[in-house]
Amino acid sequence: MSRAAKRERFWLNGRFVSESGARVSVLDRGVLYGDALYEVVRFYGRKIFLLDDHLDRLFDEAEAIALPKRFERKAITRAVCGLVARSEKPDGLVLLQWTRGEGPRRLAPPPGLRGTVFAIRFDLPTIPAALRRRGVNVITLPDERWLSTHIKSTNLLASVLARKKADEAGAYEAVLHRGRGPRARITEATSSSFFLVKRGRLVTPAVRGLLPGITRSVVLAVARKEGIPIEERTVRLGEIRNADEAFLTATSAEVLPIGRVNGAPLRHPAPGPVTKRLGRAFARFRGRVLAGTPRVAPA
């Protein structure tokens, strides 16, 4: 394999391609309507972390919205492994995107669509170690996304605008809420799940209607094992003010302490003791899972 082929970062509809070959039609429904799903998986030392969980989520959602199944799970697994094999770096992310495919422009999907599937390998976004230690700043914003946020749709305009506001405010993330005032219901952040800690109890919005975050479920599992009491329930915006600690979870960020919310520090300087404990427990879980995960041989 040539050096250029070895570094290919793109896979499109069955082929590894260079960036110039990674083109979809302007009539693709992913482009026209955001009629598509996505998934992000992470690899550590060329081992893909919890790939089955990510593929389960993707295929369940694809079934829920009746996306045409252009590729079986095996082919998509091979695509992800191929991109990891072609990576010069042992660690990174692979984005998978699956659209309803190309066809005449009309909202109701015409019959006979095949679907479009592509994957792109990315470097991990760098979160400076000092920021990770001190905790990130977040702002709170109304959740203007569609209501079916348990579907990881590429229709992300509301999230883009919320992140733009967060960026402009010098914040890392926006924590979203539905409703107004202190009784507004926290949902999640634009690309992470949200947790707070109050008097040693771990509190997180119940997942119904929200993205079932894979990192979130790992954190809940390790918290249970650690004997930390868990409350999965409606979480009110006003509760942040009295929280001892808060953190975000996501595939790329793992367990990320929050330092300030709308400029105000939490009760415990970040990372608080429960966040730290869960961060360590998450790392141990990850180590155990990766120990039993095959390493993708470099191409």
Give the residue numbers marked as catalytic.
152
Closest-CA residue to 127 (of 282, 280, 248): 248
Binding mask 242-261 for ligand PLP (x = CB under 6 A): -------xxx----------
Closest-CA residue to 255 (of 220, 231, 225, 292): 220
Query: Do 65 and 71 touch, CB atoms closer than 8 A?
Result: no
Measured from the CB atom, the residue of 87 and 249 that comes closer to ligand PLP is 249
Measured from the CB atom, the residue of 85 and 158 that comes closer to ligand PLP is 158
- Any contact of residue 275 with ligand PLP (CB under 6 A)? no
Measured from the CB atom, the residue of 113 and 176 that comes closer to ligand PLP is 176
Could you tell me the smallest distance in angstroms from the CB atom of residue 251 to ligand PLP?
3
Measured from the CB atom, the residue of 148 and 242 that comes closer to ligand PLP is 148
Closest-CA residue to 204 (of 156, 258, 157, 281): 258
Could you tell me the smallest distance in angstroms from the CB atom of residue 60 to ligand PLP?
13
To the nearest 10 degrees (0 to 180), the angle between helices 273-291 and 214-226 is: 110
Binding mask 58-87 for ligand PLP (x = CB under 6 A): ------------------------------
Binding mask 130-159 for ligand PLP (x = CB under 6 A): ------------------------------
User: How many helices, marked H, and strands, marked E, lie in the chain?
Assistant: 8, 15
Binding mask 10-49 for ligand PLP (x = CB under 6 A): ------------------------------x---------
Give CA separation, 204 vs 37, 219, 250, 266, in Å.
25, 11, 14, 16
- Any contact of residue 213 with ligand PLP (CB under 6 A)? yes
CA 295 to chain centre: 22
- Any contact of residue 216 with ligand PLP (CB under 6 A)? yes
Question: Among residue numbers 182 through 211, which ones bind ligand PLP (CB under 6 A)?
Answer: 188, 191-193, 211
User: Of residues 80, 96, 197, 214, which one binds ligand PLP by CB under 6 A?
Assistant: 214
Query: Do 195 and 219 touch, CB atoms closer than 8 A?
Result: yes
Phi, psi of 30 (to 5 degrees): -65, -40
Give one DSSP letter per residue of 86-101, joined into a string.
Answer: T-SSSSEEEEEEEE--
Q: Which amino acid is at 180?
A: R
Size of the site for ligand PLP (CB under 6 A): 13
CA 212 – CA 136 distance, rounded (Å): 22
**Cα first-last separation, the chain:** 8
Measured from the CB atom, the residue of 216 and 268 that comes closer to ligand PLP is 216
Query: Would you tell me which residues interact with ligand PLP (CB under 6 A)?
Result: 40, 188, 191-193, 211, 213-216, 249-251
